Amino acid sequence: MSLIGVDANSIKATQPLEMLLVSSGSADPHSTIVIDPRTGVSSWSYKGSELQGALTGLVEPLGIDGDHLIITTKDRPIVHVIAVNNKDRFHQKAVLPGPVSAVCSDKNGRMVFMAIKKQIYAWLMATGELLTVIEAHYQNITRLALSSDDSILFSSSKDGAIHAYLVVDLISADRERTVALIRKWNAHTLAVTDLQVTYGANPRVLSCGADHMACMHSMSLDSTILKISSDRPLSSCCIDSAETRVFIGTDLGNIAQINLFQLGSERDILVQTNDEKNTKFHIFSGHSEEISMLTVNTDGSLLASGDISGKYYIWEIGSHQCLKVSTMRSSIFSLKFIPYWNSISSAEHIAKVRPVWELQRESSKNKNLAIELASEINLDKDYWAGVIDQTLEHLLSEEAIHVPPQPNLGNKIVEGAKETDSAPKVIEVIDLRDDDGEGAPIIGGKQLKKKKNKKKKKHIENHPVPVDVPAPAVAESDTVRAPAASSQEIEALKKEIVRLKEVNRQMYEFVAKEVMAVANVEMAVFCFDVILSHLNNEKDPPVPPQIPDVKLPLFVTWKKGPNHDLRGCIGTFSDMRLSKGLAEYAAISAFRDTRFNPIVKEEVPLLQCGVSLLVKFEETSHYKDWQVGVHGVRMDFNDNGRNRSAVFLPEVAAEQGWDHIATIDNLIRKSGSSARIDEGLRESLHIVRFQSSKIVLDYKDYVEYKKSNGLPLPH
């Protein structure tokens, strides 16, 4: 029904082509909104009751249709997916191995990529299957981005590197092969803070970092084609869709605009962002805090910027005027121009597809096969008959079954029957022809035959043909008798069997360590269960089935409060069965670490548990022969006749901001030595490096895990 005197097309024309998605890292309601960039009026907001008081992290649309949003929680390993339409109450959440630092999805919403510390995870939304997990960088990942055709995934990290992967390689069926980089750039010397990818089949990649540099990289040339040096550290960057203007934001809140066509042949330029009277590069002034997000709309007419104080601006690029300014209650974490979504305004909108948000935490290794339905089907019978012929010929040639003659067995039924003296042999006929009886092979023995007589076909199918097979005559002289084995030979064989069993056991334990040495949420949950059972004077809790039955060195760490102050950390470098080791060292680190008082029950809601599984122990050739943020170090040395030792887990040096020398010096002091530290002492140290897989879980997430899995809540 149309309204009299009102043009329906004019009403539709008033709807904006684009909206602006804004989200801040706050626990307050309505911290995620969608506004009209022309007016600044909010058209949709997310109350956030499903987050249960957690701080909002990253917000990313699942595909371009706008049916669902992915919402991470800050500093928690929980990710939510919600329906955008207000009348659609769809909500699901998943517990992951750690907090998510970056997330993106393809345009159809079929795959989701997330970064957790140094690893990239890829999930298939049709099944929740974990397609791959790769160790992508040496330090934590800061950004993920897909090319416009969803064929290439780009990642950046705090190690200053930018990597490019083919998506088909990431989700390849060959799990044994290491995923190869197609491009790698190391133009930055410090952490990469932002990453933007241009449109087209030959994208360019814009990056900026804390090293005062912004760089543009070419995929086709595999080189850095533009370097922009700034007087301040850069925190955000973006480029318009026409690739004519670049915008960079600094830690002081200034935004510089660089017009690429005005640079001429310059490939290295310097931008003074603090100079508001800069005539060469225009400076947008308005923010007073670090720029956290920059984005340009599709036609390149509007620029949106957000800072860590929660303030966001909408600028008209042509006139450099501020059109809208508003404030959220915390840092702007997500800022993105999006198409106008029908799910925002249409009350009867129905989502086309529901994502399966039961995200698996272990790779399926292709146990499940998901095939998307195709709209076109090949109905050519001759084509499929040829495919069947080729398949059967291959099977018969490669896997033909040879049954040797057996004397004195008489007649027998070959398929599915017990042997009897008078039973006939049934020749089973497999008929793969079409309904009209044409073009399909019939199998008997090893030959492929064509049968065209329908009556004969039906008779064979309904009445298997008994055929008497006479037993072959075997002469006494032809009988083969096995010579009797001596007792010495039997004993030698028994010893060889025992040796092979031991080799097999060692190989199994080695492979189990390599494959299963991945910390999971259930390990930290079990540690919480252990200390609560001790505090409540209850029997030991059951071991979750998700904890593998392998032996590994491990450490259990307890931290407390918002600053994560150390509360206890003890472990072992000896191989120990995980079920026993976790139970033992969860209690020892909580109640018997001599550096601290035993944990009491009132402290438990403030605790954070960390479980580290130690792998890949290697001798070093020098005290600097290890990598900060990747390796842990174990040191021992002779201090005036007294052996001293100490250890730091892989994350310690990076968290404290130490280099190699500072880490080694702190290790020496941790060992209790008061000796004078110089280069000679450092050179004399015996250093072993190792790596770890770590999971961290807060008490709130522990309770949430219990609720979501229907387990008894702690008391």
Mean pLDDT of 559-567: 89
pLDDT in the model for residue 474: 44
Rounded to the nearest integer, the mean pLDDT of the chain is: 81
Q: Residue 542 has which token pair?
A: 């059951």
Answer whether residue 330 shows pLDDT above 50: yes
pLDDT digits (tens, 9 = 90+) for 70-121: 999 988 899 999 999 888 878 898 999 899 999 999 999 999 999 999 999 9
Residue 102's H or E segment, with its range, is strand 102-105
pLDDT in the model for residue 7: 46
Coil, helix or strand at residue 376: coil
pLDDT digits (tens, 9 = 90+) for 506-549: 665 555 555 456 788 899 999 999 999 999 999 889 999 888 88
Answer whether residue 411 shows pLDDT above 80: no
pLDDT in the model for residue 511: 54
pLDDT in the model for residue 164: 95
Answer whether residue 366 shows pLDDT above 70: no
Q: How confident is the model at residue 194 (pLDDT cuts 50, 70, 90)?
A: very high
Mean pLDDT of 380-385: 60
pLDDT in the model for residue 473: 46
Q: How confident is the model at residue 185 (pLDDT cuts 50, 70, 90)?
A: very high
Lowest mean pLDDT among 126-130, 412-416, 463-467, 503-507: 412-416
**Is the pTM for the entire model greater than 0.75?**
no
**Minimal CA–CA distance to 164: which of 148, 178, 146?**
146
Answer whether residue 452 shows pLDDT above 70: no
pLDDT in the model for residue 693: 83
Answer whether residue 34 shows pLDDT above 60: yes
**Minimal CA–CA distance to 360: which of 676, 123, 669?**
123
pLDDT in the model for residue 166: 92
CA distance 597 to 183: 51
Coil, helix or strand at residue 498: helix
Answer whether residue 177 shows pLDDT above 80: no
| Reduced 3-state DSSP string for 197-226 | ECCCCCCEEEEEECCCEEEEEECCCCEEEE
Beta bridge partners of 685: none
Higher pLDDT pick, 194 / 518 = 194
Q: How confident is the model at residue 399 (pLDDT cuts 50, 70, 90)?
A: very low
Cα 23 to Cα 14, 84, 472, 553, 574: the distances in Å are 25, 14, 84, 42, 47
Q: How confident is the model at residue 710 (pLDDT cuts 50, 70, 90)?
A: confident
Contacts of 483 (CB under 8 A, 6+ apart): none
pLDDT in the model for residue 86: 81
% residues pLDDT > 70 (the chain): 79
Q: Residue 373 has which token pair?
A: 């339905």
pLDDT in the model for residue 507: 67
% residues pLDDT > 90 (the chain): 43
CA distance 357 to 353: 12
DSSP E strands, 589-641: 607-619, 632-639
Coil, helix or strand at residue 404: coil
Q: How confident is the model at residue 14 (pLDDT cuts 50, 70, 90)?
A: low
Coil, helix or strand at residue 192: strand
Per-position b or e across 177-211, b if 16+ CB within 10 A of its CB? eebeeebebebbeebbbbbbbbeeeebbbbbbbbb
Set out the domains of the chain in order of their start, with CATH numbers. 16-345 (2.130.10.10), 514-708 (3.30.1490.150)
pLDDT in the model for residue 426: 41
Mean pLDDT of 668-691: 89
Mean pLDDT of 450-462: 45
pLDDT in the model for residue 382: 63
pLDDT in the model for residue 524: 93
Cα 86 to Cα 355, 419, 429: the distances in Å are 18, 69, 60
pLDDT digits (tens, 9 = 90+) for 118-171: 999 999 998 888 988 999 999 999 999 999 999 999 999 999 999 999 999 888
pLDDT in the model for residue 377: 45
Q: How confident is the model at residue 321 (pLDDT cuts 50, 70, 90)?
A: very high
The answer to whether the Cα torsion of 159, 164, 167, 169 is positive or negative is: negative
pLDDT in the model for residue 17: 86
Lowest mean pLDDT among 281-290, 364-373, 618-627, 704-713: 364-373
Lowest mean pLDDT among 234-248, 361-375, 517-531, 648-662: 361-375
CA distance 340 to 358: 29
Is residue 67 a contact partner of residue 665, using CB atoms and an 8 Å limit? Answer: no
